[in-house]
Amino acid sequence: MNTTLRRLSTVVMAMFLALMVSTTWIQFVTAGDLNEDPRNFRNIYSELGRDRGPIVVGGEPIVTSEPVDDDYKYQRTYSGGDAGAASVYAPLTGFFAVTGTYTGLERFANGYLGGEDDSLWLDRLQNLITGEEAQGSSVELTIDPKVQQAAWDALGDYTGAAVALDPKTGAILAMVSKPSFDPNSIAVHNAGDATAAYNELLNQKPRVNSEDGEERFSTYGPTINRTINATYPPGSAFKLLTSAAAIEYNGVTPDSEIPAEVIYQLPGTTGPNGQVGNFGGEPCDASGKMTLKAALAMSCNTAFLDLANEVGKDGMQRMFQDFGFTESLEIPMTTTIGAYPGLIGGDEDDDSDARISLSGIGQGSVRITPLQVAMISAAVANDGDLMEPYLIKDVRDSDLELVSQTKPSRYKSPFSSSTADALTEMMVEVVNNGSGKGAQIQGVQVAGKTGTAEDNPRSPTLWFTSFAPADDPQVAVAVVLENQGQSTNETTGGALASPIARQIMQAAISR
């Protein structure tokens, strides 16, 4: 073989080798990324060309795939195409669009719904052998339709959210976020129309009240699930966590007397700018002291400012972390972490004594989600054991055979059962004789806590969190009304949010 032929052979072999490496790389190494790339319309045709599994609530499908006579073969349909009914569940279900965008459960349970999860390999093998059309699995949720509807109706026209948990298992019984949207408008089979509908939703921001009289808008639009992906200042609802830290770490009891001055000077500050008073500027007790139970019942700001300072940075940060609030959950949607001074998500460079003290009343840089607030009540209700919240009850294949079933598991144990008992006693007092009377249910003892959080320049954000019955808890609830307060007694968390929580608890107890 002459030199020219050898060189040509070498070049040809190198080209074949490059082709083999390139093909192997595309087919095996990057195949997953290419399949998931939203620009890969071949994948979209494949996804919508199969009978995608339903999402089920209370034994009835709320999301289905209907056969249609077009290139996609199936139309994803939410609540039978009823816009109003679909809106009740939209922040949960999300949508599946021909543009390759999918959100909510449509995204985070896509492996099951699309029939591609590793646990469904036997079904895929059978389809390959028989030549039958691939089908997705049904995903049944823990949501109770009665509780979900009660939460939806009770929230009315408010901008806000409500979430209900079974404190003994962590199952999510209701998850409502308002304003909502109609996913059917985005699931259309025209890419241009789908994009236009989605962009319109992204640009919508509901108008909220302001303290300065100027027009203000929420930072969260209708496509954001406010229960898990919106964070707010928790205000006085956070006094539960402050109380838990004081009882668990400092040996305080519900009957311990703590300072409750008219005005509290934040540590390390001087002058009026560092002074914080009570709601309405009223004294909590003429003596300047009161029991922890009484302070929580009337939601005395100065008492909890001082209490957080006594617990200190290490104790307050530890309790926040022991609840898991600096960690994301997969329920299966990913939840947003909370924010606390000195911790990830908060003012990491500002954990001064003043900031820690201010956090005792849920102000300053503290931010948490409604789900996290419900988790505080759930931990109290379950003797200090916080169960991991979950949304998927079980998954069944196209033959209705059980593929997977969620087993309740403990997530955290932020405090002891004795601390939980003390907090329960105090929360019962809040509802019986304190700021949470609006949550009272005849014949049922309710434990709860109000919250009215300053959110300047917007109006106060209102809270109520609770569980019932207090002696045998069946449901833990959190309600948030975004910037719905007006700094008056008639627009506090106790006045507006607690009646909403009452209706949700009533629906859960009467299931």
Q: Inform me whether the pLDDT recorded for 35 exceeds 70.
A: no
What band does 397 get if pLDDT is binned at 50, 70 and 90? confident
SS3 86: helix
Higher pLDDT, 4 or 317: 317
Interstrand relation of 207-208 and 138-141 (parallel, antiparallel or unpaired): unpaired
Give the residue-averaged pLDDT of 410-437: 97
Q: What is the pLDDT of residues 283-325, one digit of tens each?
A: 899 899 999 999 999 999 999 999 999 999 999 999 999 999 9
What band does 265 get if pLDDT is binned at 50, 70 and 90? very high
Give the residue-averaged pLDDT of 92-99: 94
The count of other CB atoms within 10 Å of the CB of residue 212 is: 10
Give the residue-averaged pLDDT of 327-335: 97
Q: Do the Cβ atoms of 250 and 315 come closer than 8 Å?
A: yes
Q: Inform me whether the pLDDT recorded for 343 exceeds 70.
A: yes
pLDDT of residue 121: 44
Give the residue-averaged pLDDT of 429-443: 96
Cα separation, 278 vs 256, in Å, equals: 20
pLDDT of residue 407: 96
The count of other CB atoms within 10 Å of the CB of residue 101 is: 16
Catalytic residue among 236, 359, 365, 435: 236
The listed range with the strongest mean pLDDT (13-17, 187-191, 443-447, 455-459) is: 443-447
pLDDT of residue 224: 96
Kindly list the distances between the CA atom of residue 103 and the CA atoms of 99, 146, 205, 224, 343, in Å, as whole numbers in the listed order. 12, 24, 19, 10, 29
Phi, psi of 435, deg, nearest 5: -80, -5
Kindly list the distances between the CA atom of residue 384 and the CA atoms of 42, 255, 276, 415, in Å, as whole numbers in the listed order. 50, 20, 31, 5
Q: What is the pLDDT of residues 53-86, one digit of tens each?
A: 999 999 999 999 999 988 788 999 999 999 999 9
**Is the overall model pTM greater than 0.85, yes or no?**
yes
Q: Does 466 participate in catalysis according to the annotation?
A: no
What band does 490 get if pLDDT is binned at 50, 70 and 90? confident
Query: By 3-state DSSP, what share of the chain in percent is helix, strand and coil, each rounded to 5?
Result: 40, 20, 35
CATH assignment of 201-218+226-394+409-509, given 3.20.20.140, 3.40.710.10, 1.25.40.10, 3.40.50.1000?
3.40.710.10
Percent of the chain with pLDDT over 70: 90
Q: Inform me whether the pLDDT recorded for 129 exceeds 90.
A: no
pLDDT of residue 187: 94
Cα separation, 405 vs 415, in Å, equals: 29
Q: Inform me whether the pLDDT recorded for 372 exceeds 70.
A: yes
What band does 10 get if pLDDT is binned at 50, 70 and 90? confident
What band does 485 get if pLDDT is binned at 50, 70 and 90? confident
Q: Inform me whether the pLDDT recorded for 417 exceeds 50.
A: yes
In the chain, where the domains are located: 3-30, 201-218+226-394+409-509
- Partners of residue 224 on adjacent β-strands: none
Q: Inform me whether the pLDDT recorded for 37 exceeds 70.
A: no
Q: Inform me whether the pLDDT recorded for 216 exceeds 60.
A: yes
Q: CA nearest 242: which of 163, 323, 165? A: 323
Q: Which of 28-37, 420-429, 452-461, 495-504 has the lowest average pLDDT?
A: 28-37
Q: Inform me whether the pLDDT recorded for 46 exceeds 90.
A: no
Q: What is the mean pLDDT of the chain?
A: 90
The listed range with the strongest mean pLDDT (12-16, 192-196, 423-427) is: 423-427
What is the separation of C-alpha 233 from the centre of its chain, rounded to a whole number of angstroms? 14
Q: Which of 26-35, 109-118, 210-219, 439-448 has the lowest average pLDDT?
A: 26-35
pLDDT of residue 491: 79
Cα separation, 204 vs 309, in Å, equals: 41
What band does 498 get if pLDDT is binned at 50, 70 and 90? very high
Q: Do the Cβ atoms of 296 and 376 come closer than 8 Å?
A: no
Cα separation, 376 vs 477, in Å, equals: 10
pLDDT of residue 170: 98
